[in-house]
């Protein structure tokens, strides 16, 4: 994963951690605290990375907005080319 894609992934993963932490806080009716982030990383980071690798989100222009859903199909998907012109990886794979 190059630095640009790594930054996108980490940004989206951080958003997912924040959403999950907020949901956990709603469930227990208090802030789960800093320890929740480490808990999430230890228990869910690998699953999230696998889901990201399998998702359309990593190729989508809207990933930073909604990519934390890590879906395989999306009506809002708009391809974001990872390389220029005819060398576009998505186009090459899906032709």
- CA 6, CA 26: separation in Å to the nearest integer? 30
> What does the angle CA 19 – CA 21 – CA 27 come to, to the nearest 5 degrees?
105
Determine the pLDDT at residue 43.
Answer: 97
Strand partners, 60: 79
Determine the pLDDT at residue 73.
Answer: 87
pLDDT band at 82 (very low <50, low <70, confident <90, very high): low
Give me the helices (H) in 1-95, please.
3-28, 35-54, 63-66, 89-93
Q: Which of 88, 92, 66 is nearest to 8 (CA)?
A: 66
- CA 51, CA 44: separation in Å to the nearest integer? 10
pLDDT > 90 fraction of the chain, expressed in percent and rounded: 47
Of 1-10, 49-58, 84-93, least confident by mean pLDDT is 84-93
**Which CA distances in Å does 59 have to 22, 38, 54?**
27, 28, 10
């Amino acid at each position: 994963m190059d630095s640009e894609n790594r930054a996108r992934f980490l940004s989206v993963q951080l958003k997912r951690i924040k959403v999950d932490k907020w949901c956990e806080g709603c469930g227990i009716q208090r802030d789960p605290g800093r320890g929740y982030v480490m808990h999430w990383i230890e228990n869910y980071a690998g699953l999230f990375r696998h889901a990201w690798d399998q998702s359309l989100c990593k190729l989508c222009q809207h990933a930073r907005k909604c990519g934390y859903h890590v879906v395989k199909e999306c009506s809002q998907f708009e391809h974001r080319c990872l390389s220029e012109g005819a060398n576009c990886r998505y186009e090459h794979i899906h032709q």
